[in-house]
Amino acid sequence: MGPLKGLKVVEMTGLGPGPFCAMMLGDMGAEVVRIDRLNSETIEGDPLTNINARSRRSVALNLKTDAGRDAALRLISQADVLIEGFRPGVMERLGLGPDESLTANPKLVYGRMTGWGQDGPLADSAGHDINYLAITGALHAIGPSARPVPPLNIIADFGGGGMLLLVGVLAAIHEVKNSGHGQVVDAGMSDGAPLLLGSVYTRLAQGAWLDKREANLLDGGAYFYGVYECSDRNFISLGSIEPQFHALLLEKLDLTHNPLFQNQLDPDGWPAAKEKLASIFRTRSRDHWDSVFAGTDVCYGPVLSLKEAPEHPHNKARKTFMEIDGNMQASPAPRFSRTPQAKPTPPPKPGQNNIEVLADWGFGADDILALENAGAL
């Protein structure tokens, strides 16, 4: 099931964006095999609740042994895609770098996920999402005027990381059909994060963006694009940018003729208008404002907690969330009309599928016994 049925992927165990990319491929029907470390715990806690680890099987190998490395290379030689997220040079030291892997499998798409990319002054340095955002201008632009605020780790790690790798891998898969040759996909989060800032850099180039926080159309500076607290200490979100949506917002609040709201795009008037709206929204509960705005063109949404979100009527109607083994998580997306995805399989424990994976990938009983005797399995 799924549009990527028949695609074979080997994933080296890792953190965050690499496993997320593998999950996306697996959700869309690819056969994903994760190579875990032998006799080790997973990096991200309880493997059975690691949502990004769904939709694949696991084989655990001791890559410090010749037999383990050779077994990994044998798996790689049969794969369409390899995904790894180690620091530059680690795969080369394991004997599983691009040279060895592409020699064994000339059509291989070799996907590399790092924070800083494979080269450059910071390539060998440790880092996290917040650091990649920091040097790309993204972090400076997010938060209240007083200080930047980290937007979880969803921008660089997943939007500019895992999704970037996914797009690169799919593009390289398409290209190999024409050329017959594989290649390395170097996906650096510090490259991907600025791509997501395209609209901001556009406004900056047009003179329509101030290089500071909470002073612009989309950063919380505008009264009609932001978050407001309600009387029950919950919050609502507004995005009434377009004139017709802005007019409807004012109509719903009986502010159509209020002088504070007559020059929507004049930043000088935003602070006073924002305070006026804040005072209004603090008078009633989130549920009240939901009854006023939900389903209208005001561009409104209640700010829901992680536990509340799956119960929202729209999310329930779309089946946006699902439970797998009692763990709530996002359903596979996007949706395909002719080749729909199957329900994702639960995350495996490291090495849970050793025998079946190796057998499915052409290892005989004697091969498997030899790996066990060599301490590789």
Return the active site residues.
128, 157
* Phi, psi (deg, nearest 5) at residue 344: -60, 145
| C-alpha to C-alpha distance for 190 and 125, rounded to whole angstroms | 13
Contact 223, 278 (CB under 8 A): no
Contact 348, 56 (CB under 8 A): yes
How does strand 183-188 pair with strand 225-229? unpaired
Is the preceding peptide bond at 313 cis, omega within 30 degrees of 0?
no
DSSP codes joined into one string, 314-358: HHHHHT-EEEETTEEEEPP-S--SSSPPPPPPPPPPTTTTHHHHH
Residue whose pair of structure tokens reads 């001791």 in the numeric block: 62
The encoded tokens of residue 288 equal: 């009240």
Closest-CA residue to 62 (of 53, 52, 72): 72
* Phi, psi (deg, nearest 5) at residue 33: -120, 120
Q: Is the dihedral of CA 115, 163, 98, 53 positive or negative?
A: positive
How many CB atoms neighbour CB 253 within 10 A? 18
Which residues is 83 bridged to in the sheet?
11, 111
How does strand 31-37 pair with strand 57-61? parallel
Q: Is the dihedral of CA 298, 303, 309, 312 positive or negative?
A: negative
List the helix and strand counts (H, then E) for the chain.
15, 11
